[in-house]
Structure 1
Amino acid sequence: MKEIFKNRTFVKLFLGAITSQLGSTIGNMAFAFYLLDHFSDQPYLATLAELMYSLPTLLVFLFVGVLADRLDRQKIAEYSDWIRALLTLFLFIAVIVNSVPLIFAILFLRSAISKFFFPAEAGLIQGILTKEQYQTAAGLNQMVFSIFMLFGVGLGALTYKTIGIYGALVIDSVSFIVSAFLIRACSIAVEARMPNGKNSIKDMSFKQTITDFKLGGRYILDRKLLLTIVSGFFIFGFINGGFAILPLFTMKFKLAPDNYEWYASLFAIFFGIGVFIGSSLCATWGKKFKPHTLIIFGVLMTVVSTAGMGFADGIWLYLCFVLMTGFMIAPINVALAGWIPTLVDPSFMGRVNGWVDPLMMLAQSISLGLIALVFPNVISSVDFIYFGIAILMLVVGVYYLFTLPRYSREEEVGEVKNSIKPGVQL
């Protein structure tokens, strides 16, 4: 852990990502509370707001990964922050005039721009750290994510209750500006920023973009282990869609309708505690167990805890299952985040992410769309949605159980063969 913090470039980039994510978390959660308060008889609006965060991936997926591999990754991340800061100011105005269509349109655009940030940032991380440090960085990122879960929703609720939606949007905008300055201050080698050589936006054409996108798909298809992992991400998208809105719905319509903001914050706190504890132990687990073991075990145990949330009829029992879910999700995320960069060549990292993100977001959008259609008109209880998520998790767990160990062994054998120089015998 100490070694990566000695890398000043990593520290600045890491702080930039944290600042950007913290502001987004506060702003998004405050906005969810705002919609539920002002349109409580139309809960589908909160679901549609979540759709505005996921649907844009389907609009920009062709360009996100390709641009991250062909253009300056540092500038992409920085400009993404600047543009989102500007769009947040427009969102401020849209809320003032109380135009729901305009609000949703700006949320859509802002989310579309954010999709360019993370592939670029992931590519930069891969270029400034060694393979041995990927797992450590993944664990660190997961611990920070748990802190967001601990305080992000609570801060969103507190911000909304104290300074309102306008104050939350101001914090959101300032966070993007600070993040942009931090990323600009990073000193990153040209090879990490542009692993495929120097290109400009003028050199890019739609035909070239399509070709590069196909190359990314071919890169995944040619690698069984990578393909298996990416296939599972599609199901994870359905699960993410459910969990994006279920906590609010559970508290609002089942367990705590009169004080749902407070208990929704408790959901985040308990989930965050679980993720934080699980992430803290991942440094030890990562040395004792292979990534696929952590992933399979985590997914199967999450099936149990997710079903438990559906059966729970009391707030504290529900929160205990939430804590368990966070605890088991942590090793899944850490193992995946630390494993995938070791399987992907740096020159293809953006294009691989360019396939992963739209697959997940397509499934997430379908999931949110289905929830908006069936709840509460067709399905009157959120319990059945939890059971559906548990079944999907079980499908992923069984699929990984029968594929990941075998393909992982094949990958290790291939690496050993490639490491043997011609003329050298074992």
Structure 2
Amino acid sequence: MKKFKEIFQNRNYLRLFLANFTSQLGSTIGLTAFMFYLLDRFSDQPAYASITELMYSLPTLAVFFIVGVLADRMDRQKIAYYCDWISAILSLTLMVAIYVGWMPLIFAVLFLRSAVQKFFFPAEHGMVQGILKKDDYTTAAGLNQLVMSLFMLFGNGFGIFAYWTVGIYGALVVDVLSFLISALLIRACKIDDMVRMPNGKHRIKDLSRKMMLDDFKSGFFYILKNKLLRTLLIGFFVFGVVNGGFSVMPVFMLKYKLAPEMYEQFSIVIGVVFGTGILIGSFIASLLSQKIKLYQLIIYGLIVTGGFVICSSVPNNLFWFMVIIFISSVGLPLINIGIGGWMPSIVDPKMMGRVQGMITPLMMLSQSLTLGFITVTFPKLLSIEALYWLVGSCLIIVGIFYLCTLPKYSSENEQSDVITEAKESGV
């Protein structure tokens, strides 16, 4: 708690943290309400729910080659600010599209809004890296994990509650207001030019096609030359499979197996159970991160969580399903805090935008492929149990892969840092 209090004394970090929170809150409420709106209105077409998630992940593939370059070349604060404003406008447009009722238009607006939001996080992460000390990175990762647990606890519940009380349009109004609040918080930050523009000041007209291509290549080769980053990136591809599966699997498990008549109500309960597990796991992971190495935290989290995700396919009883889901959720923060606290310390601040710009599309590619696979195969070819086996196995495989590689590469990276510091100090 003392560490959390110290990090919040940094006013810029506090504003960025709240901006990230409000932006995610609105997006979560709007997207959740919209998914239940589709399941309610088109209950015989579960593919629509998967397509909605695809419209969240697929745009990354359309903009990935410029997201990281812009975050490293342009003013990061302005990028995050304008992303929120444009997202608010597109949320209003989505309300009009839903009123018209033409599904291709609705999905097109969702696609555009998601594409704009993809520019926010590399810029925001770059600023957070620049305004914090190296010792604060793991604490910041723990706070991000706590926020995620709160979304899991209350996000789906708020989305469903908004849908029940004020309808899909009211939920989207909350979406708009949240983006606007986030934009104002971003604007209120007072951040040094070196953090906002680590590679110098540039304007849009300065970014020629050749410069952007060269920057993208430099980011790509920067990752390839760093064995540790390259290894982590392989795991991120599988994490996308996990994200894609978990975005629809709990709802499908309830609707098509455990509670078909009351899946909406029990979705709230599952969200609370899962979020509570994440919340408890966040505190456990924060304590463990001070006692064991971060790569050990990641490996333990992957193997334990993967095993319990597979086990969650077995129960035919809702109570035992929730018990196993709770246990599996406790292990997830170990992965997220381990990676989130590690990445900023091993990435050059001038390259953070490009590194994040490579990670996100890789995850979204695998997430999109997974959702497309589920759309085509479920329930005709694959059962809901098979989906849980697929996701759990992916986690365990990555855990074993990291067990064989991360200890070695971590040691090599630490030795390289010592040599670099010695050269800089003139030793």
The reply to whether TM is greater than 0.5 is yes
Q: Using the TM superposition, give the Cα deviation of residue 326 of structure 1 relative to its aligned residue in structure 2, in angstroms.
A: 1.4
Q: Report the 3-state secondary structure (helix = DSSP H, G, I; strand = E; otherwise coil) of the residue aligned with 1:250.
A: helix
- Give the drift of 1:424: 7.4
Aligned to 2:235: 232
Q: Residue 111 of structure 2 aligns to a residue in which SS?
A: helix
1:62 equivalenced with 2:65 (yes/no): yes
Query: What is aligned with 2:420?
Result: 418
Within a 5 Å distance, the mapping from 1:289-308 to structure 2 comes to 289-308=292-311
> Which consecutive residues of structure 1, in runs of 5 or more, have no partner in the other structure?
none
Pairs within 5 Å for 1:89-168: 89-168=92-171
Aligned-partner SS, 1:310: coil
Letter in 1 for 2:422: I
Distance of aligned partners of 1:98 and 1:281 in 2 relative to their CA distance in 1, 3 Å threshold:
same
**Offset from partner CA, 1:64-98 (integer Å, 9 cap, x none):** 00000000000000000000000011100111111
> Using the alignment, how far apart are the partners of 2:351 and 2:133 within structure 1?
17
Say if 2:32 and 2:160, in contact at 8 Å, map to a contact too.
Answer: yes
Cα offset, 1:270, TM superposition: 1.1
| Corresponding residue number in structure 2 for 1:399 | 401
CA–CA separation in structure 1 for the residues paired with 2:329 and 2:417: 33
2 CA distance for matches of 1:305 and 1:395? Answer: 14
* Aligned counterparts, 1:296-375, within 5 A: 296-375=299-378
Query: Separation in 2 of the partners of 1:197 and 1:183?
Result: 20
TM-score (norm 2): 0.98
1:165-203: per-residue Cα shift (whole Å, max 9, x none)?
A: 010000001100111011101111111100000001110
**Which residue of 28, 33, 56 maps to 1:30?**
33
Kindly state the Cα deviation for residue 331 of structure 1 after the two structures are TM-superposed. 1.1
More moved, 225-234 vs 308-317: 308-317
| Aligned equivalents of 1:188, 1:413: Cα separation in 2 | 32
Distance 1:272 1:422 in 2: 45
Structure 1 residue 239 displacement after superposition: 1.1
State how far apart, in whole Å, the 2-side matches of 1:302 and 1:141 are. Answer: 19
Percent of residue pairs bearing the same amino acid type: 52
Q: How many residues align?
A: 424
SS in 2 for 1:287: coil
1:191 aligns with 194
2:13 & 2:395 partners in 1: Cα distance? 34
Residue 178 (str. 1) matches residue 199 (str. 2): no
- Quote the Cα distance in structure 2 between the aligned partners of 1:70 and 1:281: 38
Match of 2:211 among 193, 208, 211: 208
Q: Could you list the per-position Cα deviations for residues 33-81 of structure 1 after superposition, in whole angstroms to 9, with x for gaps in the alignment?
A: 0000000111001100000000000000011000000000000000000
- Normalising by the residue count of structure 1, what TM-score does the alignment of the two structures yield? 0.98
AA aligned opposite 1:265: I
Structure 1 distance, partners of 2:177, 2:322, is 33
Conserved 8 A contact 2:26-2:174: yes
Q: C-alpha deviations, 1:147-175, integer Å up to 9, x for none?
A: 01100000111111111101000000110
1:228-248 deviations in whole A, cap 9, x for unaligned? 011110011111111111111
AA in 1 matched with 2:99: I
Task: Say which SS state the counterpart of residue 187 (structure 1) adopts.
Answer: coil
**Equivalent position of 2:246 in the other structure:** 243
Q: Give the aligned partner of residue 269 of structure 2.
A: 266
Unmatched runs of 5 consecutive residues or more in structure 2: none
Question: How far is 1:207 from its partner?
Answer: 1.9
Q: Residue 140 of structure 2 contacts residue 341 of structure 2 at CA under 8 Å; is this kept in 1?
A: yes
Aligned to 2:42: 39
Question: What is the deviation of 1:316?
Answer: 1.3
Q: Do residues 283 (structure 1) and 280 (structure 2) align?
A: no
Helix, strand or coil at the partner of 1:104: helix
Q: Separation in 2 of the partners of 1:90 and 1:32?
A: 17
Q: Distance in 1 between matches of 2:388 and 2:180?
A: 38
Cα deviations by residue, 1:334-390 (Å, 9 ceiling, x for unpaired): 1100100000000000000111111100000000000000011222x2000100111
After superposition, what is the alpha-carbon deviation per residue over 1:197-223, rounded to whole angstroms, capped at 9, x for unaligned?
000111012221111111111000111
CA distance in 1, matches of 2:107, 2:273: 30
Query: Of 85, 88, 100, which residue of structure 1 is paired with 2:88?
Result: 85
Q: What is the SS of the residue equivalent to 1:95?
A: helix
Shift of 1:124: 0.6
Q: Quote the Cα distance in structure 2 between the aligned partners of 1:210 and 1:268.
A: 42
The 1:38–1:406 alpha-carbon spacing in structure 2 relative to 1, beyond 3 Å, is same
Which amino acid in structure 1 is aligned with residue 388 of structure 2? Y
| Residue 296 of structure 1: how far off its partner (Å) | 0.4
State which of 401, 408, 411 in structure 1 corresponds to 2:410: 408
Partner Cα distance (2:50, 2:208) in 1: 36
**How far did residue 282 of structure 1 move?**
2.3
Task: Tell me the CA shift for residue 419 of structure 1.
Answer: 2.2
Amino acid aligned to 1:208: M
2:385 aligned with 1:383? yes
